[in-house]
Structure 1
Amino acid sequence: MEDNLSWTKDHPVSRVQWVPIEQIFANDYNPNSVAPPEMKLLEISIQSDGFTQPIVVWKIEKGYEVVDGFHRHKIGQKIRLSHLPIVVVNKDRKDKSDRIASTIRHNRARGKHQVGAMSDIVLELSRRNWNDKKIANELGMEDDEVLRLKQITGLAELFSDREFSEAWEAGTDSEDIL
Structure 2
Amino acid sequence: MSEWKSPVYGVRAVPIEKIRANEYNPNHVAPPEMRLLYDSIKEDGYTMPIVCYYNAADDMYEIVDGFHRYQTMLDHKDIYDREHGMLPVSVIDKPIDERMASTIRHNRARGTHDVDLMSGIVAELHKIGRSDAWLSKHLGMDMDEILRLKQLTGLADLYKDKEFSKSWKPGKEITDADITG
Q: What TM bracket, shorter-length normalisation?
A: 0.5 to 0.7
Percent of aligned pairs sharing the same letter: 52
1:86-125 → structure 2 map (5 Å cutoff): 86-90=89-93, 93=94, 95-111=95-111
Using the TM superposition, give the Cα deviation of residue 27 of structure 1 relative to its aligned residue in structure 2, in angstroms: 1.0
CA RMSD of aligned residues (A): 1.9
Structure of greater Rg: 2
Tell me, which stretches of 5 or more residues in structure 1 are unaligned? Answer: 1-6, 113-178
Show structure 1 runs of 4+ deviating over 4 A: none
Is residue 2:69 matched to residue 1:66? no
When the two structures are superposed, what TM-score results if normalisation uses the length of structure 1? Answer: 0.54
- 2:70 is paired with a residue whose SS is helix
Q: Encode CA deviations 1:50-86: one digit per residue, 9 max, x unaligned.
A: 0010001111233111111010010011124211000
Residue 10 of structure 2 is aligned with which of 15, 28, 32? 15
Give the equivalent residue in structure 2 for 1:40: 35
Match of 1:54 in 2: 49
Aligned with residue 72 of structure 2, among 59, 71, 75: 75
SS in 1 for 2:54: strand
Q: In structure 1, what is the equivalent of residue 23 of structure 2?
A: 28
How much has 1:96 moved relative to structure 2?
2.1
C-alpha distance in 2 between matches for 1:110 and 1:104 = 10
- Deviation at 1:111? 3.8
Which AA in structure 2 matches 1:64? Y
